[in-house]
Amino acid sequence: MSDVPANHPRALSLELREKIEYYRQLGIVANAGPIAHGRGEAFDYLLGETTPTPVREDIYAAAALLLEAQHPVISVNGNTAVLAPKSLISLSRNIPAKLEVNVFYGRTGEREKKIADYLISQGAQEVLGINAEAKVPNLHSARMRVDKNGMALADVVLVSLEDGDRTKALIDWGKKVISIDLNPLSRTAVDATLNICDNLIRALPLLEKAVQDLRTDQQKIKQLTAEINNDYSTARVLKFLNHRLGNLATIKNEFSILDATEEHIHFIKNLTKSVIEEGCFYPQQDELNTDYILSKLNLEYTCTNILLARHILCGFIDGDIRDNQTFHLKRLAIDKMYRGFGGGKILLKKVEKLATIKGCKKIVTEVLTNCHTAQGLFLKNGYTIEGLVNCNGEKHNLIVMGKKLSGA
């Protein structure tokens, strides 16, 4: 069926897309099915296309809930049937739980029948939901129709690729709902008793394994179900995403440093000017004077280093050695666009190394009281507050910060 070469880096993803489209043409997947699938793929990219550790714990809690249930039901729609037929069938046998077709689009019952026939062709023995006559109270889409021997009786329902309306209606009807939804913020994920924020293709086999692991451990089952808290689970997933995206949103490895030369004077002057405008350097005549800057560049007792992101000049640090022992760090400036990526730390490390080589025992610097980001950077890099300089008549005072050099 597929023209996708097996060694294509996204072969599985492309094959699944083709499968969804193929079965859409056969009337098993709804016309809107590919859109829901694409939304899931986008969230899966954010997860890194792996099951996050906290979600693995949620999967065990979900397995416990399914094992504790008197009448567990696995709800199946077009997308889920096509994406993971064997896993759905195998999980339903293992729990054991009933399989029931339930669709959002399909008032004629024809699509339900096609999905059920497809699952039977894949090995399912029984699929409920055809000509279903019971109704989910307060639900108005085709999803309201449920089987009187399946979902109507169920105490725990497993749903995936679901719309939020039915999840909420099932909960209001007194059911516990486990959802598998890659979007941790969908109404389904938020309203469910427990959401498994994972691709159902990965989650179903993990869920089956968890069912096998837990089956005989009644105490663990009790403990896990008692601890279910969907808000907490969602928060952990969001924290995971936040951390992952934070790590990805870095250009740390793209930074490099070089000694400043005459060609950087213009850049130093401009950056100094903009930091003065931000209010984080006090204006001093000399600092904007080209000849003065040039006269101080990398002499025996001075140092000025430039920070580059790839090939773009984005920061600098300068200072001088006083009384042969102390490196006085005068200015550290990073272009606004490049802040928060670890460039400040790299500049500080470079200066520490240099000061140590020159025999300094300590680095000191002065930071304006209003410059909290700079203070945070110094504190994070081992500097301590040593005093305060009262700048009479000025808007802000100066905090003196220092760090002993360990290699000295």
The one-letter code for the residue type at 124 is A
Q: Assess 160 for contact with ligand ATP (CB under 6 A).
A: yes
Closest CA to 263 of 317, 313, 338: 313
Which span sits near ligand ATP by CB under 6 A: 35-43, 124-132, 272-280, 376-384?
A: 35-43
Q: Assess 39 for contact with ligand ATP (CB under 6 A).
A: yes
In the complex with ligand ATP, which residue's Cβ is closer, 20 or 280? 20
> C-alpha angle with apex 70: 64 to 73, nearest 5 degrees?
80
Which span sits near ligand ATP by CB under 6 A: 89-97, 134-142, 154-162, 316-324?
A: 154-162
Distances (CA, A) of 33 to 14, 167, 185: 15, 18, 19
Which span sits near ligand ATP by CB under 6 A: 178-186, 225-233, 238-246, 282-290?
A: 178-186
d(CA 207, CA 87) in angstroms, rounded, equals 10
Size of the site for ligand ATP (CB under 6 A): 21
Angle between helices 200-214 and 53-68 (to 10 degrees): 60
Q: Assess 36 for contact with ligand ATP (CB under 6 A).
A: yes
What is the total residue count of the chain?
408
In the complex with ligand ATP, which residue's Cβ is closer, 130 or 201? 201
Closest CA to 108 of 142, 78, 85: 142
**How deeply is 251 buried, as exposed, middle or buried, from its count of CB atoms within 10 A (0-12, 13-18, 19+)?**
middle
24, 37, 114, 143: which one contacts ligand ATP (CB under 6 A)? 37
Strands (E), 80-175: 98-101, 134-135, 145-146, 156-160
How many Cα neighbours within 13 Å face the side chain of 324?
0
Peptide bond preceding 96 in cis form (omega within 30 of 0): yes
In the complex with ligand ATP, which residue's Cβ is closer, 15 or 386? 15
CB of 16 to ligand ATP, least distance (A): 8
Q: Assess 186 for contact with ligand ATP (CB under 6 A).
A: yes
CB of 237 to ligand ATP, least distance (A): 13
Q: Assess 34 for contact with ligand ATP (CB under 6 A).
A: no
303: helix, strand or coil:
strand
27, 34, 109, 164: which one contacts ligand ATP (CB under 6 A)? 164
| H/E run at residue 72 | strand 72-76
29, 30, 43, 100: which one contacts ligand ATP (CB under 6 A)? 43
Q: Assess 200 for contact with ligand ATP (CB under 6 A).
A: yes
d(CA 333, CA 408) in angstroms, rounded, equals 26
CB of 172 to ligand ATP, least distance (A): 15
89, 99, 136, 161: which one contacts ligand ATP (CB under 6 A)? 161
CB of 22 to ligand ATP, least distance (A): 16
Pull the structure tokens for residue 385.
């507050």
CB of 254 to ligand ATP, least distance (A): 32
Instruction: Please answer whether residues 148 and 132 qualify as being in contact, where contact means their C-beta atoms are separated by less than 8 angstroms.
Output: yes
d(CA 189, CA 182) in angstroms, rounded, equals 8
How do 134-135 and 145-146 pair as beta strands? antiparallel
CB of 184 to ligand ATP, least distance (A): 9
Q: Assess 181 for contact with ligand ATP (CB under 6 A).
A: yes
CB of 44 to ligand ATP, least distance (A): 7
188, 195, 233, 305: which one contacts ligand ATP (CB under 6 A)? 188
How do 326-334 and 312-322 pair as beta strands? antiparallel
In the complex with ligand ATP, which residue's Cβ is closer, 65 or 196? 196
Contacts with ligand ATP by CB under 6 A lie at: 36-37, 39-40, 43, 83, 160-164, 180-183, 186-188, 199-201
